[in-house]
Amino acid sequence: MAKIQVKYVCTECGAQYPRWTGRCDSCGNWNTISEEVTETAVHRKSSTAKPAKITNIAEVSEIKTERISTKIAEFDQVLGGGIVQGSLILVGGDPGIGKSTLILQVASKVERTLYISGEESERQIQMRAQRLGVK
C-alpha cells in the first residue's frame, strides 16, 4: 500500500511548502507555487517475534497459582480466590458506585499496595481514607 504525499513547490526557486500559497516567501514571485503529489511505498517492519502456536486450551498444563486474600470475601470470590501475585487489576464502572472506596479498602488489607488514581487528588484520597478509618 502506498502513502500519498502532497507538497507545494515554487517553480522558480524550488522552495517547498506544506500548503498552497499565492506568493513564494523565498523568491518573492507570485503564482509560482505548484502542487506535487508523490507516492511512497509503506515498508512494514518485520517482527523478530516468533509466530504464536495454536494451542487447544485443554492441552495447557494447569499450574497452581498462589493468590493473595483481600480479606473481603466477595471481592476474593470475584477474583477467583484472591489477587494473583504480580497482577494488575483495573476497576471500571459508572461514577459514584464505590470503585475508589472498594479499592482503598482492599489496599488497606493487602500489604505493599500501589494505589494509582488518575482522577482524584491526594487530598481526596486522604479524606476517603480517614472516613473509612484506613491508615
Question: What percent of the chain has a predicted confidence (pLDDT) above 90?
Answer: 59
Identity of the amino acid at 50: K
Q: What is the pLDDT of residues 59-114, one digit of tens each?
A: 988 888 889 999 999 999 999 999 998 888 889 999 999 999 999 999 999 888 88
DSSP state of 118: S
33 has pLDDT over 80: yes
Is it the case that residue 45 has pLDDT exceeding 80? no
Q: What is the pTM of this model?
A: 0.52
Q: Cα-flanking dihedrals φ and ψ of residue 56, to 5°?
A: -75, 130
pLDDT at residue 73 in the model: 95
Percentage, residues of the chain above pLDDT 70: 98
- pLDDT of 51 above 90: no
Domain boundaries along the sequence of the chain = 2-41, 65-132
- 93: which 3 cell numbers? 464502572
Asked if the model's pLDDT at residue 23 lies above 80, the reply is yes
Residue 1 has pLDDT above 80, yes or no: no
Mean residue pLDDT of the chain comes to 89
